[in-house]
Structures are given as structure tokens and as C-alpha cells.
């Protein structure tokens, strides 16, 4: 499902997060959850499951009471087959899954499906938000609550201190930082040119790295303005520009024009079409066009040749690849 939705790519043994997947990590919990469920709906159609019954079960989950036991006797065959998937996604809880399962329990994720209580934990107080808007006792540890508030400290020397023991958070950080030290509740690393280049090669953009650091900044950092050191942010974007300064294009090179007039006639026509990727000096009499533009320019030259009979305004070159 992660591969088909574009969140990850690669083989089963070497899955890598994509740019879309990293952007997914920056979204709030409800957006993430519904993104997964919408992909689940697409998969349900491929498995010939009744989409109406699948949707009905999802909306029913959003109206159930947290922690209360619900019988499976009124569920359809399609909905019963969904229970195992919903259990894997964390929407319901069962001690053990069997096909003759009698009861299931909705989790907090399920109760926030159709409510306006987007966060699982209030980032200000660390108190869980109930579906109706009332507060409930926190169910996470103090360390997890601090992660919801923010756990990253970024210094001007590119050093990062991440106060977390969450394997997912550490794995995400490993995408764009180089680890130096690791303790039970603290990870220390550096943002380097090599680590950012590695992230860029996986499709992660500089803006996404900056957004992740801002989203998960430690409360202590939020007291300063600007939130992140400008020198670090600027350098991350410069490393991205360094990687993207080269671009390859397929096209055709036009050269060996007999006269300057022939050259000017054809290149002016190519400019009007907006298909010129590169052009040399007038003395060189060379220019490079896109694959699509070549067909139009070739026909233009043939028409001119036919009109002038033996006078050829120019001839097209051979296919080539240019770097600009």
C-alpha cells in the first residue's frame, strides 16, 4: 500500500521513503490517517470489496466510544474482513485476531476520524483531546508528550540534539543528518553537505527538511526569533541549488547553415515557437531545440526548400543531448 500510494519506493528488502512520503510525515494525524484510508479504499475496489460497506464501517468507527467493546455480530462479511486491517492500522484493538472474533474496541485514532479533534495529544498541555472536545487523562509517557511538542534543538554550527527514543523519529532524522552519538533519550548529529545530498537523492527537498525541523522544534527554540538559524537554513537551500544546477534535455542540434540569412530565418521561427533550449553566437550558427519542436522546424525547412527549389535554408542536425 505504501508503494502503490507513492509514499515509498524500491524492493521489499530495500524500501526508501519518497518525497511524497516525507511530506506525509509533516501532515497532522487526521490527514495522514485519511490519506491511508483513501488508498485503502482504492485497494478495496481492486479486491472486489463493496466500497459502500467499507465507507459505512469507517464512518461508523468515527462515531463509536473510546475503549468500549462492540459486537461483530451485526457486521457484514466485508466489514469483518476489514477488522484485521483496521487492527494493523491502529483503529481498533483486539487481544487476538480470529475470524470468529466476537468483540472489538475502537482506539483514539478511530474516535477522531470524524471529529474536529485533530491532535491525539494537546501540544500545550500534553492532555489527550476527546472526540467531543473534553479533555481526558494523558495516556502517553512524558517523553512521548515532549515529542508531540517538539524535540529538536538546532544550533548555528549545524549540530542537532534530538530528545527522543522513538525509532520512527530517529529513522526520519537519519534521512538528512549524520549521527555522532546516541543515548537512551538523546540523539546527537550534524547536518552536513553529504547528509543533505543523500536526502535530496531520495527526493526530499530542502523546504521539506526545513519544514520538518520547524514542525518538531523544541519548545525552548520556539522562544527565539527566527525559529531556525538563518545560516543553516540558507546553507541547506544552497546545497539543493548546487545539486539542481545541471539539467539534461533531449533534442536536436541545428548547424551548418549556408548563409547567415538562412540561420536567422530558422532560429527566429524556433524562437516564436518557444522551443529553443540553447543557441550559440550568430557567428557559430548553431542552436538546440526540443524533441517536439524539431518536427515543426523540420517541416518549416522543407516548405522553404520546396518554395526556393534548389536553395536550402539549412539542414537539421542529428539527435543529441545538451546540458545547460
How far is CA 52 from each of CA 76, 79, 115, rounded to the nearest angstrom? 11, 10, 21
pLDDT at 145: 46
- Residue-wise pLDDT for 79-111, tens only, equals 988 988 899 888 999 877 665 688 899 998 888
Regions in the chain scoring below 70 on pLDDT: 97-100, 116-149, 309-324
Residue 222, helix vs strand vs coil:
helix
Alpha-carbon span 104 to 125, nearest angstrom: 30
Select from 186, 191, 195, 171 the least CA-distant residue to 25: 171
Residues comprising the chain, all counted: 324
Domain ranges of the chain: 8-132, 142-243, 248-323
pLDDT at 5: 85
Q: Count CA atoms within 13 Å of residue 224 on its CB side.
A: 14
pTM attached to this predicted model: 0.58
- Residue-wise pLDDT for 219-243, tens only, equals 999 999 999 999 999 999 999 998 8
Q: End-to-end distance of the chain based on CA atoms, in angstroms?
A: 38
Q: Does domain 248-323 have CATH number 3.30.70.2610?
A: yes
Query: φ, ψ for residue 101 (rounded to 5)?
Result: -60, 135
Amino acid at each position: 500500500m505504501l508503494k502503490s500510494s507513492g509514499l515509498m519506493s524500491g524492493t521489499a528488502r530495500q524500501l526508501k521513503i519518497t518525497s511524497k512520503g516525507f511530506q506525509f510525515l509533516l501532515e497532522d494525524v487526521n490527514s495522514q490517517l485519511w490519506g491511508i484510508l483513501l488508498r485503502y479504499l482504492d485497494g478495496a475496489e481492486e479486491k472486489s470489496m463493496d466500497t459502500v460497506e467499507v465507507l459505512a464501517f469507517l464512518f461508523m468507527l468515527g462515531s463509536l466510544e473510546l475503549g468500549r467493546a462492540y459486537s461483530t455480530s451485526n457486521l457484514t462479511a466485508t466489514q469483518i474482513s476489514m477488522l484485521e486491517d483496521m487492527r494493523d492500522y491502529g483503529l481498533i484493538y483486539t487481544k487476538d485476531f480470529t475470524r470468529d472474533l466476537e468483540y472489538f474496541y475502537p482506539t483514539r485514532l478511530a474516535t477522531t476520524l470524524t471529529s474536529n479533534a485533530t491532535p491525539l495529544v494537546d501540544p500545550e498541555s500534553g492532555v489527550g483531546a476527546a472526540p467531543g472536545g473534553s479533555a481526558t487523562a494523558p495516556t502517553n509517557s512524558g517523553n512521548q508528550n515532549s515529542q508531540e511538542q517538539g524535540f529538536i534543538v538546532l544550533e548555528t554550527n549545524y549540530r542537532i540534539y534530538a530528545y527522543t527514543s522513538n525509532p520512527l523519529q530517529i529513522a526520519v532524522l537519519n534521512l538528512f543528518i549524520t549521527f555522532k552519538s546516541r543515548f537512551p533519550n538523546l540523539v546527537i548529529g550534524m547536518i552536513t553537505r553529504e547528509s543533505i545530498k543523500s536526502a535530496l537523492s531520495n527526493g526530499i527537498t530542502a523546504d521539506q527538511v526545513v519544514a520538518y525541523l520547524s514542525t518538531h522544534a523544541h519548545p525552548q527554540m520556539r522562544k527565539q526569533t527566527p525559529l531556525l538559524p538563518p545560516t543553516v537554513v540558507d546553507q541547506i537551500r544552497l546545497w539543493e541549488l548546487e545539486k539542481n544546477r545541471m539539467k539534461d534535455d533531449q533534442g536536436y542540434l541545428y548547424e551548418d547553415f549556408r548563409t547567415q540569412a538562412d540561420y536567422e530565418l530558422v532560429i527566429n521561427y524556433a524562437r516564436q515557437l518557444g522551443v529553443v533550449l540553447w543557441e550559440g553566437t550568430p557567428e557559430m550558427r548553431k542552436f538546440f531545440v526540443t524533441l517536439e519542436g524539431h518536427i515543426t522546424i523540420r517541416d518549416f525547412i522543407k516548405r522553404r526548400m520546396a518554395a526556393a527549389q534548389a536553395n536550402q535554408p539549412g539542414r537539421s542536425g542529428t539527435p543529441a543531448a545538451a546540458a545547460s
